[in-house]
Amino acid sequence: MLLWLRAMHRAVFITLLLSTVALPLMSLTGGAELHAKDLEKISFIPQWEPQAQFAGYYVAYEKGLYKAQGLEVTMLRGGPGKPSAGMLAGGGADFATMFLSTGIQERARGAPLINIAQVMRRSGFLLITRKSSGIDTPRDMEGKKIGLWGAELRLQPTAFLKKYDVHVKIVPQCYTINLFLRGGVDIASAMLYNEYHTVLNAGVNPEDLVVFSLADYGINFPEDGLYCLEKTYKQNPATCCRFVLASLQGWKYAFEHPEEALDIVMKYVNEANIATNRQHQKWMLDHMRELIYPSDTITPAGELSESDYTAVARELKAGGLIDGIPSFSDFFVNCVRADEK
Amino acid sequence: MKNRGLAFKLVALILSGTAAVFLTAFSYYYRCSEKSVMANVEKNTRNLAHSTVHEIETVLMGVEKPARNFATLLSMGRQETDDVARYTECISSSNPEIFGTAISFEPYAMDRQSYYFLDYCYREADGRLARTRLGSDSYDYFTLDWYQIPKVLDRATWSEPYFDEGGGNIMMATFSVPFYREMDGTREFQGIICVDISLLWLKNIVSALKVYQTGHAFLISRNGTFITHPYSSLIMGHTVFSVAEGSGDDSLRRIGQDMIRGGEGLVALEGNPLSRARAWMYYAPMSSTGWSLAIVIPEDELYSDIRRLGRQVILIGLGGLLLMSVLIVVIANRITKPLRSLACSTVDIARGNLDTELPGIRTGDEIGRLTASFASMRVALKEYITNLTETTAAKEKYESELKIARSIQMSFLPKRFPPIAEKGNFEIFARLEPAREIGGDLYDFSLLDDDHIFFAVGDVSDKGIPAALFMAVVKTLMKGIAEAGMEPSEILKKTNVELCRDNDSMMFVTVFCGVLDLKTGSLRYSNAGHDPPIIIRRDRGTEWLAVPDGLVLGAMEESDYETKEIELRPGDKILVYTDGVTEAMSPGKELYSEVRLMEAVKSSSSDSAEKLTLEIMDAVVEFASGAPQSDDITVLALTFGSPKGPLVAQ
């Protein structure tokens, strides 16, 4: 229990520290002409604790891809209590990753942030259930207990449940999947690259599970994208796009050299003393590939498709989480396309 | 093996038999020992596992009890905020193993003004107790495992172990008890009481377990996560299943599934990250927490004693076999020594050296009797060979005499055939092919005067020396009797009378003889029991010559013979032969017969008597094609007049 307590305290401390130190630094370098040797100092925070979900960024940093783009990146450690949007807004970080749904929500609420790359283009959101619970189709979920994450993470499964017109008993699901493992809920939310593998590695066989991949049911909320404040982009669009470029190069390198990428991820994991293992991170990296470079998508990596954007925004609005849909052109800056020109 | 000595065979057979018996007994013993070792191991590890589980659970129960009591107390009635706080402090202070105690309420359940209520009493780094009030929008405890799981499951639960980041990275676990309030007959969930304990002591207990020399124990949580393990890198970061996944070991995954299901038992672990070499693992469940304790013992160590003993037994066995083989060789040598010397001697005997001395007979056993038999065989063989040598010498002498007799006999026959040129109006040619045995064929011819030629062919009954002598007599008599102007029948009659006189041996001879008038071509002839000759006319066909009846010579003194006459024209031929021709046998036991002879003669186109004779001889030899010749073969041919001359006699 104390874990959560202490983590909380530290997050607050780091936030404070960064807002006092990083911001002035950035504004100093922001608009100035750069010498060849002078690197632009920027900071980046992933939306969660170190894991292979962010392998591309760690790899870009460790392999000097950011430096090659003239960027000196401070890699911040994400985690509970350090929401990306808050970190951006408070000036704790220049760049952050965020779920698309979170990004839209923040934008609709008036946060001046923009999406500069949609890295994951397919949703890894799964609803999983044990075969023994007798749920084979979405309609079988009627009246069952379902574990759902909070806030915007609840929208995607809610849209799914609404599509099939089923009514369920919602039990809030938080950081672990233990409630599902103990039989406290019939259905649990799980990310393909994370909780699903945790369940398998708690001794549950894949053949004993029924998995509903929401993207397969037409409910595709693409997840991690790269965000920064509108202000940051306006001051120096080239920096932002160089950051995007280097990050995508990092992902490419990570998929081409998975063992090396894992070594890097494990270094961050061990520094953060996260209870995980290489097998889990390997699984995560393997499955990130399907979500970052889905076989059924033709848009180039990093590009946000307007139809995905509209679908997610509509669900957010229908769910009452946003009042109006922000304009797509305000929300997304296409660094990839700009780069192509 | 087949060609090896007896000693070798004995050693091979006895040793392989003994070795087979020894190996069977040894492997049976070894199996049984292994089984009993395993039975012992299972018993020991089970006891050890159970006592350790009991020890751990005693501590956990000690922690569970105050929390459960508190929950009971809270369910009995509403408590004031201060009382609650004091109680949490009391639990922490009176239970040193408890790191912290918390009481948390459902929204507004404790304080109608407050959504969150969480009072936490914990131990500072220096050991002093401190208290804090938690619960806020940023610490929304309602969805945390320690609160939500016991609430949803409606029972007290132990959390998965976790690392307490702030408190010096100590591994902790939390026990949570839900408490309720009776409201209008329904039980309503109020909140959760929980106690945190450090799991350091757990590590000490488990790693202190002495499991043989190199064995170890480990503990896994309900999710299969390692709580303790000698490899500290596994702790918390890995589950049994991630290890199984990493090493692709499905059996380990199944074992892990049984462990977290609360199963118990002894299993074999093939080389995997948990036990580099093959090992045995006993696991037993910890029912209060759902954890599982496992004891791992490398197989090498389990079996080291019986393996050492096994090696010694094998060595002793091998030594015994070696000793035995030496003994067998010695014994076998003693038994086979006389046999071997007998074998050496008999090799000499077999080579024909019958004077070789056999070893002395010392015993009455099989070998003694065998030697005696060999000795008498040697004597018998020697006698037999002596006899054989004598007989052979006698036979050789006889055969050589016979050969001489034969050549003498042949020298009686006329060798020189008068050529046509001499008289110009006849040609005669004869050939006698003697059989291997001495036989009794004869032929003869001579000019009685300028115009008459006498010729005869005979065949003495019987074979051998008597026949040869009789033939000589017949030939000499006929030669002496025949003179110009005599009828052939007269020659035969006179010869017969001479032969019958004092013919005690009762031998006889068939004879055909004739006298040809070289001027007129008149052939007068007579026959004494001989096969009829063939007359070959130059322009009137070939036929058997009609011969007068007449008894063989030497049978009856009173026999009378008749002379017949035919007219020959120049170029006509007469062919006289003995039954050696017609009775020549083919390898298929078929006779040459008169029919074949006639055909051979008819198909011959030879003008000359010599050529005709040789053709007939060749035909017979060809027919016999190597079959042994049993009788003399004689052919005589006489041509009247010059074959190319005019058809009319001069």
Q: Give me the domains of chain B, ranges plus CATH numbers.
A: 23-194 (3.30.450.20), 202-302 (3.30.450.20), 352-412 (no CATH), 414-640 (3.60.40.10)
**B148, B165, B253 ranked by CB distance to A7: nearest:** B165
**Are A170 and A257 found together in one domain?**
no
- Three-class SS of B200-246: HHHHHHHHCCCCCCCCEEEEECCCCEEEECCCHHHCCCCEHHHHHHH
Under 8 Å CB pairs connecting chains A and B tally to: 119
Which range marks the domain in which residue A164 is found?
125-217
pLDDT at site B78 = 67
DSSP B570: T
Give residue for tokens 């102007």. B485
Whether A14 and A103 map to the same domain: the answer is yes
User: Please, which residues have CB within 8 angstroms of residue B383's CB and are 6 or more apart in sequence?
Assistant: none
Mean pLDDT of B221-235: 87
User: Taking residues A220-232, what's their average pLDDT?
Assistant: 92
Whether A13 contacts chain B with CB within 8 A: no
User: Are B143 and A278 in contact (CB < 8 Å)?
Assistant: no
- Residues in chain A with CB shorter than 8 Å from the CB of B272 are none
Q: Are B390 and B361 in contact (CB under 8 A)?
A: no
Q: How many CB atoms lie within 10 A of CB B462?
A: 15
A36 and chain B in contact, CB less than 8 A:
no
- A182 and A48 both lie in a single domain: no
Secondary structure string (H, E, C) spanning chain A: CHHHHHHHHHHHHHHHHHHHHHHHHHHHHHCCCCCCCCCEEEEEECCCCCCHHHHHHHHHHHCCHHHHCCEEEEECCCCCCCCHHHHHHCCCCCEEEECHHHHHHHHHCCCCEEEEEECCCCCCEEEEEEHHHCCCCHHHHCCCEEEECCHHHHHHHHHHHHHCCCCCEEEECCCCCHHHHCCCCCEEEEECCCHHHHHHCCCCCHHHEEEEEHHHHCCCCCCCEEEEEHHHHHHCHHHHHHHHHHHHHHHHHHHHCHHHHHHHHHHHHHHCCCCCCHHHHHHHHHHHHHHHCCCCCCCCCECCCHHHHHHHHHHHHHCCCCCCCCCHHHHECCHHHHHHC
**Closest listed residue to residue B458, CA positions, set B469, B447, B446, B474:** B474
**Do A210 and A142 share a structural domain?**
yes
Same domain, A96 and A147: no
* Cβ proximity of B212 and B203 under 8 Å: no
CATH number at residue A145: 3.40.190.10
Q: Distance (Å, rounded) from C-alpha A108 to C-alpha B241?
A: 44
Report which of A325, A326, A328 is spatially closest to residue A317, judged by C-alpha positions: A325
Record the tokens describing residue A131, joined without a space. Answer: 């075969």
- Cα A140 to Cα A261: distance, rounded to the nearest angstrom: 41
Put simply, the answer to whether B224 touches A2 (Cβ < 8 Å) is no
B15 near B324, Cβ under 8 Å? yes
The predicted pLDDT at position A64 comes to 92
* Statement to judge: residues A185 and A323 lie in one domain: no
**Percentage helix, strand, coil, to 5, in chain B?**
45, 25, 30
For B348-388, the DSSP string reads HHHTT-TTPPPPP---SSHHHHHHHHHHHHHHHHHHHHHHH
Q: Which of B259-263, B291-295, B410-414 has the lowest mean pLDDT?
A: B410-414
Residues A34-46 pLDDT 10s: 444 578 899 999 9
Regarding whether A192 and A111 lie in a shared domain, the answer is: no
pTM value is: 0.63
At A259, the pLDDT band (50, 70, 90 cuts) reads very high
Whether A9 and B166 lie within 8 Å, measured CB to CB: yes
Please state, rounded to an integer, the average pLDDT across all residues of chain A: 84
Query: Which residue among A1, A172, A201 places its CB closest to the CB of B245?
Result: A201
* Contact flag A150-B172 (C-beta cutoff 8 Å): no
For B149, the closest of A184, A202, A277 (CB atoms) is A184
Residues in chain A closer than 8 A to B157 (CB atoms): 182
| pLDDT tens-digit readout, B302-358 | 888 888 888 998 999 899 888 988 888 888 888 778 788 888 888 888 887 888 777
A24 reaches B (C-beta below 8 A): no
Same domain, residue pair A232 and A108: yes
Q: Are strands A71-75 and A40-45 parallel, antiparallel or unpaired?
A: parallel
The 10 Å Cβ neighbour count of residue A16 is: 12
What's the CA gap between A312 and A333, in Å, rounded?
17
Split at pLDDT 50, 70, 90, the class of A29 is very low
To the nearest 10°, the Cα dihedral for A82, A86, A90, A95? 80
Kindly state the tokens that stand for B96: 């040193």
Neighbours of B573 (CB within 10 A): 25
Residues A107 and A227 occupy one common structural domain: yes
Which of A190, A217, A244 lies at the terminal end of a domain, its last residue?
A217
Nearest CA in chain B to A173: B143
Position A302 pLDDT exceeds 70? yes
- CB B139 to CB A171 under 8 A? no
Task: Please list every residue in chain A whose beta carbon sits closer than 8 Å to the beta carbon of residue B260.
Answer: 202-203
Amino acid type, A276: T
pLDDT tens-place string over residues B395-442: 999 888 888 887 887 888 887 776 654 556 788 889 888 876 677 888
A181 CB neighbours in chain B (<8 A) are: 222-223
Chain B residue at shortest CA distance from A282: B246
Q: How many CB atoms lie within 10 A of CB B19?
A: 15
Residues of chain B in contact with residue A280, where contact means CB-CB under 8 angstroms, are 242
Contact residues, chain A, for B196 at CB < 8 Å: 1-2
Q: What is the pLDDT of residues A53-85, one digit of tens each?
A: 999 999 999 999 999 999 999 999 988 778 888
Q: Does A201 touch chain B (CB under 8 A)?
A: yes
Q: Which of A72-76, A83-87, B464-468, B474-478 has the lowest mean pLDDT?
A: B464-468
Cβ–Cβ below 8 Å for A6 and B167: yes
- Among all chains, which residue has been given the structure tokens 């030697």? B371
A185 with A249, same domain: the answer is no
Q: Are residues A286 and A311 in the same domain?
A: yes
Into how many domains does chain A fold? 2
Question: Chain A closest CA to B184's CA: distance in Å?
Answer: 25
| Residue B187 DSSP one-character state | E
Cβ distance B174 to A1 less than 8 Å, yes or no, reads yes
Residue A197 has pLDDT above 50, yes or no: yes
Which among A177, A192, A217 is the end of a domain? A217
User: Looking at residue A270, what is its pLDDT?
Assistant: 87
| A6 contacts on B by Cβ (under 8 Å) | 164-167
Which chain A residue has the Cα nearest residue B166? A6
Task: Look at residues A161, A191, A217 and tell me which one is the last residue of a structural domain.
Answer: A217
Is the alpha carbon torsion for B297, B299, B304, B306 positive or negative?
A: positive
Residues A115-142: tens digit of each pLDDT: 999 999 899 999 999 999 989 999 999 9
CB contact under 8 A, B148 and A184: yes
> Closest chain B residue to A277 measured between Cα atoms?
B237
Q: List the single range of A40-44, A55-59, A289-293, B585-589 with lowest mean pLDDT.
A: B585-589
- E strand or H helix that includes residue B565: strand B564-567
Q: Would you say the ipTM is above 0.85?
A: no
Q: What residue ranges in B312-451 does DSSP mark as E strands?
A: 426-433, 441-447
- Cβ distance A7 to B174 less than 8 Å, yes or no, reads no
> What mean pLDDT do residues B268-281 have?
78
- Coil, helix or strand for B270? coil
The residue-averaged pLDDT of B458-476 equals: 84
Based on the fold, state whether residues A28 and A160 are members of the same structural domain.
no
Instruction: Categorize the per-residue pLDDT at B165 as very low, low, confident or very high, splitting at 50, 70 and 90.
Output: low
Of the two residues B125 and B587, the one the predictor is more confident about is B587
Q: Which residues of chain B have a CB within 8 Å of the CB of A200? A: 241, 245
Q: Is A275 on the interface with B (CB under 8 A)?
A: yes
CB B648 within 8 A of CB B576: no
pLDDT level of residue B642 (50, 70, 90 thresholds)? low
What are the strands of the beta sheet with B564-567, ordered from one edge? B441-447, B452-460, B509-517, B522-528, B564-567
Between A237-251, B56-70, B88-102, the lowest mean confidence (pLDDT) is in B88-102
For residue A178, the chain B residues in CB contact (below 8 A) are 145, 149, 159-160, 223
